[in-house]
Structure 1
């Protein structure tokens, strides 16, 4: 992701976020390295660094001299400089957590809830967030992020099938979240949130183009490009669950037949009732075809596999990469395998939801902080 500052006076808030993002991505780093990277003067960067230190968002570490001269201080993100509330709403449960700026889950709450209505869900969210606030040991709350199943606003897909939650059509989710939490609020579909979480806390710090395959009750995905989720015209790009996988196959609630998530999802796994190893062998050709389709469509550096599936099942699925056939991703100079496991599968969307609030407050392309 190319980060460039501006010398215009009106750009000061943006420059603060640019410097902070550069420290997050490249730290430990120095003032002079940041200045070279973002196109600002060392004096401007030093002024911004002082402001960020005053807000406790970064830490400055003085290294011991190893020769002549005094080495410059190095700068890193202060993990305790802020906390975000991440909330993951699923057809099976609701989970909420306090997450620090390094992506560590500081405290969490879990409630079983089968396809909750909005009133039920936000009542539980309000309870959990109140408990998390009460358990805080200092720190600043940046906001609350909510990840929930997609796709959004597609009549024939959003309100049918195993991921359906009754009564969520035409709900002002962001406002309901703000009312329930009392915090600046951000929402995203769970697959895009998980991809953002990987960008902020996981492999995304080394990769600029990857596809996040979100294996959950249904199946979805999101393509990260240059630090941003590829959105599409209506925010549903990368929704792979409803591509045709088996001609004239199983009927899908969306009205089509043979959709991929009818065979490759937790719902599909539970319906078959097979042991994990047997099921993985059965769906191996479908999984490999899905990976090749993703590669040929998006040309990612790798496909990151995560979601709500049990870790042993994720571990077995990723071994299927050994039998992948040719695609545009087959090249001798790869830095990563064609499929890798997400940095934190079980909490991917939860941490991603928190990342929404972190990005919303701090990122130069999303941020609202330091606007004066």
Structure 2
């Protein structure tokens, strides 16, 4: 095998990435079209395409339309060459998906959590991942990776350093899953995973600067700057839920006082609703025996005309708008995406959020920003987690394809 210089290796690596990305995004496409779009000569494209076919990532799918000469052989990305698993870990439930290499969901499962004790949660995660691996169709690469979104601070090795709503400290989730499954694992904050999901497949596909706001039991923020997730100097950015909006406010599970999520999260919303005897009495018509008042019940009450439910939801929208205005003033994004469970109440909080933002955000900052609710509904984090695993796979695959030359 001919030895490549560092410069030659880098050029081929870049060219292979360009060809693979073009085929992934423009399938079906001919070799000639890849050459035109990439600026690479036809011989280089042909060699790289042949390598990608050998590696199972590209398929020939028959002839296309002729533009005057021979009909071209069309190429397609083989999205069934492998699969990824995405997991969204919440405080009361785990959602998990099996996706193909294009992020399309093949299988989806959920499991409620009876406890947030780390050993029990890890057992549930393991069982669900085993189930999805067993359900994966046969493929060239099999299951290429596992991505997990966690509501907390995570380091680069997948150690959950601090997850206040789970009461976790220094839980080595990444190490445990790698040891058990022997495939690549990436663990990230659930809001970062949600931002990745929206950027890759949701409302943010055509935006370079966006903020994904995950509002459920707590509030997390995934920040996209210049198309990439921004993690800060140590990788821990995005904890907007623990910014202070009330100097002498209630104590938070993080140890601080007056955190934004104490006033604007789903938990805050339900705590306020559960203090009202009249609201709880009205909600009995919607609540199954033995269940507690949930966001879905509050939305049903609002839809039935209950003014108290509407007031509480509107108040939640106002507190969300205050924090969102702060985020707009700091980051000047193109788009704010609101996701996770609070999106169930969109009809009752969206107006108040936008009105509060209009009153409180700086005029030049709010001029072009849009505030939208997630296009992926509850799926942003779980799909984003799978996307993190896929990104890791393609980064490594591009290198391995080049090294095989």
Partner of 1:189: 189
| Map 1:132-171 → 2, pairs under 5 A | 132-139=132-139, 140-152=142-154, 159=162, 161=164, 163-166=165-168, 169-171=169-171
Partner of 2:243: 243
Q: Distance in 2 between matches of 1:184 and 1:91?
A: 25
Q: Distance in 1 between matches of 2:45 and 2:350?
A: 43
Match of residue 278, structure 1, among 311, 315, 331: 311
| Cα 1:363–1:91 shift into 2, 3 Å | same
Post-superposition shift, 1:84? 0.1
Partner of 1:202: 202
1:203-250 CA-partner distances (Å, limit 9, x unpaired)? 343222211111121101111123321010121222210122234333
Post-superposition shift, 1:317? 3.5
Q: Distance in 1 between matches of 2:7 and 2:72?
A: 24
Partner of 1:47: 47
| Map 1:62-81 → 2, pairs under 5 A | 64-65=64-65, 68-69=68-69, 75-81=75-81
Post-superposition shift, 1:61? 5.4
Post-superposition shift, 1:131? 1.7
| Cα 1:314–1:135 shift into 2, 3 Å | same
Q: Distance in 1 between matches of 2:23 and 2:395?
A: 11
| Map 1:250-261 → 2, pairs under 5 A | 250-261=250-261
Is the Cα contact below 8 Å between 1:89 and 1:95 reproduced in 2? yes
With 79-88 and 25-34 compared, the bigger mean Cα shift is at 25-34
Post-superposition shift, 1:152? 3.8
1:116-164 CA-partner distances (Å, limit 9, x unpaired)? 33332232222222222222222221111111111347xxx96574x12
| Cα 1:211–1:160 shift into 2, 3 Å | closer
Q: CA RMSD, aligned part only?
A: 3.1
| Map 1:206-225 → 2, pairs under 5 A | 206-225=206-225
Is the Cα contact below 8 Å between 1:263 and 1:269 reproduced in 2? yes
1:326-365 CA-partner distances (Å, limit 9, x unpaired)? 533444xx5xx6112223121211111111110001148x
When the two structures are superposed, what TM-score results if normalisation uses the length of structure 1?
0.82
With 117-126 and 60-69 compared, the bigger mean Cα shift is at 60-69
Partner of 1:3: none
Q: Distance in 1 between matches of 2:399 and 2:221?
A: 27
With 67-76 and 279-288 compared, the bigger mean Cα shift is at 67-76
Q: Which runs of 5+ in 1 are unaligned?
A: 1-5
3-state SS, counterpart of residue 53 of structure 2: helix
Structure that is richer in helix per residue? 2
